[in-house]
Each structure stands twice: as C-alpha cells, then as structure tokens.
Structure 1
C-alpha cells in the first residue's frame, strides 16, 4: 500500500487555490488505492475543511519544523510527499528528501527555494528545466477535481441569443480582496440583461452585494460558497473570476470567462491567457473602468463572441492532467532514490 502526504495550507488571505488542486490530485490517488493524508493549516475556513471531510480525506495540523515533518513522515510511513505552498520554508522539503522519500512540488513559476524530485507547474506556457528532476509543465498537467472533469462537455458549447445570459461570478473560497461587489457594480453598469449568480464569501460581502441595484432586465442571486459551483458553471453562459487556478477549470468546461487580476503573482497567467484568446481581460481589480464595462457588455450581448471564447478555451485542455501527475508520482514512489 502506498501512502502519500500532502503539505498545503488555506486561509482567509492565503485563499484556497493550493488546497483545491491538491484535493484534485488526492482524488485521483485515492481512486488508485493510495492512502492520502493532508498536513494542513486550513485557517479556520469552513469551506476548506469541508473539501477534505466530505471526501473522507484525513488531515492533521502541519508539523512546525523540518524535524517534525520528518518525524511525521516516519510515523505515517509516507512513501512520498506533495508540497504546494508559497510560504513553507524550503528546509522542510529538503529534510524529507534527505530521508530518501521523493517529493513532488506544485509551483507557479517561482520555485520559492523548494527542492523536489518532480516539479509540476500547471500554468499556461510554463517551462521547467531542473537537472536531475522531472518537470511537468503546462496545461497538460492542470489538476482538475472530479466534480469539474465529470462536467466537461464532449464538444465546445455553441452559444445563442435564445435566452437571457446566465452569469456566474466567483473569487475563490474567501474573496480576500473583496472583488465580488465591484464586479456586480460593473455588471449592472452594462445595462445588458443577465441572470447572475454571485458568490459572496462571507456575510459582509453578501450584504454589500445585496446593496447593488440591478438595471431593468438584470437579476442578481447572491449565495454563499457552495460545492455546487462546478454545476453552476457548467450551466452558465459567462463566468467572471480572478486569474488563477480556477481559470484552468473554466477552460476545461469550455466556459467563456471575463478575468481580472488581483495580486502580482496572477499577472503572468492573466497576460498569457488573454494573449492566447482563452479569456477576455477586464484588468486589475480596483482599477476597472469603462473598458471593463464595455467588455462585459459585449460578452453579454454577443453570442458569437462567447462561442469563439468557448471553442478556444475547451481546446486548450483535455482534463487529464491529474492522471499524468499521479502516474509520475506513483512511478517515483515505486522506485525512490
């Protein structure tokens, strides 16, 4: 029996992107008979905790230092460790590798000092060249949860003007930078008709969203974070979100997307996605103006434009990245250094 530990965190400021893609990998590993244990600080975010508990994935608080991580690896009899963190000191993964256990590091361009036997960078046009390590780079290795993969259409959707466009706006499990109210305002300013579901990550955000007044022909449905988000997206005509891990899920679903960037580490992915025509760019959150409103209006009123985006998005991924990453990890675990 193979046992894999996953070291990742989530939180109100950290967000849930690291956890979501690790859950995707965990699902695939468990389906293959692997035992997976999360070593995670989930920041008290109930939605994050539910992603593990509802899947029966055990988790415990993260070890405080490299020695404690090695002790935990020994206690759990780990065969391999997955690391996905912007803040974990690199000494932690180095200590585990020193025991002979393989380490897989999920990164976003910058390795942040992590050393590993396998690096995974699922970002568009990424590249990895580390002597002695296996690099899995690009959208072929994008990690999608089963709830997303199961909803991937057999062909790219074709949009029509036959119904009021359905919009879903979401900004991670915490919306730490309070994007949802600003996007709701910009949607209302388009004057175009729509039926929008907007995720309010907490009660104060939902209060702000309820205060946004829709124009005639517009409707807002303000809801709390939900595990039904993939289903809502699969039924939508347009998504509005922040550039990041969730962007690749939108591509998998063939869903036209209008994207913003919020923090600096999203800029590169945002620019590449827009340049390839896989999404429509609204700009930087907090600085959205008339151009963003015009872009949203075009997407809401031009079914052909949405169809073109959908075709490009759907063709960018095949949804099987998690299988490829699991193959590589288990092969390495079976023949450690």
Structure 2
C-alpha cells in the first residue's frame, strides 16, 4: 500500500499539520505501508525534520511572493492550481497512491478534483469546516458543539467522517504517560508551550507574567519549536532566571506534561495532548480557528480560557495562575473534565479504517 501526504509547515502556517501527519505516517509504517510526504519549501519548513524520521519527502519549489501582504497560506490559496499541477508531477513518477492524504488550509474541492484521477482514494484532515471537499474520508479530531453537523453541506454523502478526539492523532510518546505527579494540590511546575511557531509571541508574554508573580519556588519549562522566530530573544531574556528551563524542538513533550501541574498554551493540536495527559491549562487564542474549540472547552471546564492574544495581558495571565494556585479545586475539576473528553480515544481507529477502506476498494 502506498500513501502520499500533502502538507506544509512554515513560520506563517505553523507546524501542527506536519506533526500530526507524522503521527499517522509512523502508524502506517508499522503496518508496512510506504509513505512519502510532499511539502513546499516555505520559510520555517520541516522538510529536514521529516527526513530525519526516515520518510521520503518530495520538495516543491519555494514561492515568490509578489505582494508583500501575502503570507504563505494566502499565496497557496491564490495559486492552488499551480500547486496541484506540481503535486501531480511529484507523484507521477512514483507508484500509484492508494491514498492521498491532504492536511492543508489552502486547498478545497477544486485542488482535490484536480488530483482525483491520479490517486485511488483521498483523505482530508481538516478542522475549519469552512470550504467544500471531495474526499473518501474526512478526519476532524477536534471537539465542537454540533460536531456531527459541521460538514453536512461541505462533503459528499459517501464520505466517511471521523470526528472528535476519539480519532486523535496522538504522538506515540504520550501513550504511556504517567499521571501521578498531578495528583497533588499545589502548583510547583508550569509548562509553557505555544506550538512550533508562536507567531504572536505568547511565549514571551507568559514568561513575563510568571516573572511578575515573583515565585522562584515554581519551576517553569518553556517549549520552543524550530519555526519560532523569537527563540534567540526568549533565550536571552531567560538567561538569568534560575527557575526557567528552555527546551528547543524536543521530542519529549509528554515527559514535561507528566511533570507539570499547570500548562499555558494555545488551541492547536497540543490541546488534545494536554487533555490526554489530564493537564490543566490556561489558554490564549492565537488564531481564529481556535476560538470555537477553546470556548467550548472552557464551557466544559477543561481549560481556563483568557481570550484572543491581542486582548490578553501579562497581568491577566499572572492573575489566572494565582487564582488556580489559590484554589486547588479548580485544577481537580479541570483534570476530571479532561479525562471525560478523552474517554473514547482509540489509537488504532484511523489506520484500521484506512486499511479497511483500501482493502474494500
């Protein structure tokens, strides 16, 4: 069985698409499936990182932005047809793909219809529900109100829908996570992680908030990804703060979550990893597509959501941390709510469905 994955990472797009596709690719490889990635050479891409995981990557050329107002996503949306043709060229000299997996906000049914004759089946990974798709299988691993109705008018009736955290693409490092350290009633360790790129630099805001608290007794772990353009400034700022440790482009986030009593982060894929780890979190919305998810999780008591990044101040974060420290029952309720959200998770379901539908084709 051959699978091609079309996805990208960049300073603009972030790293979440690639990271969750890598989870799926690694699970497929365990079933002796041949997986190759197709990625564009954007600034802050993860092509070399994907190769370091022993996957083949077909690289598409770096775009030239003629309009300085265009970011990578906007350029790709405007040039979807050129991207589709380059993707066809990339796969034309390879064995026919049993599945083409697309995890990209820039593409919709027009891109997919262009590729359809070149592959046997198409899977789309999405969480926006803002554009139509033509695919055999759609995965949205997030939790929303009215989850079952979100894609009703956006996909064909024959499309298999895998919706909700039951189908989470959970990195293998999380699957044997230990929860014991989070049973205590005090906050002694805080994890700050805003994804791979953190374009609004919420990491620095969170560090400043922790500094405002003047609590040297609390250990702080700062996780920074390869695509974070503020790494040097953050490292310099934290140099003389003894209770802060910086972790750069790591593969042991699960270990840090297991040790942490509280997290500060955004609403990307890491949201569900925190839920799986039963880690209470203070959240800040760093992209519009996070709003619905974080608002609903706040209603469920899973997170303490502060709102959009431009509206959240250092003092807001500090006040929220101190409120949780001073009210241990809040953490306990958040842990219980997180466990409830993830109670139906099954790591085998997605790969099993891909293999089953390929067998029945």
For the aligned pair, the TM-score class normalised by the smaller chain equals: 0.7 to 0.9
Q: CA RMSD, aligned part only?
A: 2.7
User: 2:74 — aligned with what?
Assistant: none
State the secondary structure of the residue aligned to 1:299.
helix
User: 1:139 — aligned with what?
Assistant: 165
Residue 138 (structure 1) shift? 1.0
Native 8 Å contact 1:82 1:104 kept in 2: yes
Native 8 Å contact 1:238 1:257 kept in 2: yes
Cα distance 1:120–1:200, how it changes in 2: closer, same or farther (>3 A)?
closer
User: 2:184 — aligned with what?
Assistant: 159
Residue 329 (structure 1) shift? 1.6
Residue 320 (structure 1) shift? 4.3
User: 1:113 — aligned with what?
Assistant: 132
Native 8 Å contact 1:180 1:209 kept in 2: no
How far apart are the structure 1 equivalents of 2:353 and 2:298? 30
State the secondary structure of the residue aligned to 2:334.
helix
Residue 105 (structure 1) shift? 0.3
State the secondary structure of the residue aligned to 2:183.
coil
Cα distance 1:331–1:169, how it changes in 2: closer, same or farther (>3 A)?
same
State the secondary structure of the residue aligned to 1:211.
helix
Native 8 Å contact 2:264 2:281 kept in 1: yes
Aligned length: 329
Q: How does 1:155-234 map to 2 (within 5 A)?
A: 157-161=182-186, 165-192=188-215, 193-201=217-225, 202=228, 204-208=230-234, 210-211=236-237, 219-234=243-258
CA shift digits 1:181-231 (9 cap, x unpaired) = 11111222334441111134457444246436999xx82223423222221
How far apart are the structure 2 equivalents of 1:256 and 1:214? 28
State the secondary structure of the residue aligned to 2:120.
coil
Residue 248 (structure 1) shift? 0.5
User: 2:38 — aligned with what?
Assistant: 39
User: 2:55 — aligned with what?
Assistant: 57
User: 2:76 — aligned with what?
Assistant: none
Native 8 Å contact 2:39 2:47 kept in 1: no
- TM score, norm. by length of structure 1: 0.87
Native 8 Å contact 1:69 1:92 kept in 2: no
User: 1:313 — aligned with what?
Assistant: 338
User: 1:324 — aligned with what?
Assistant: 349
State the secondary structure of the residue aligned to 2:194.
coil
How far apart are the structure 2 equivalents of 1:227 and 1:173? 12
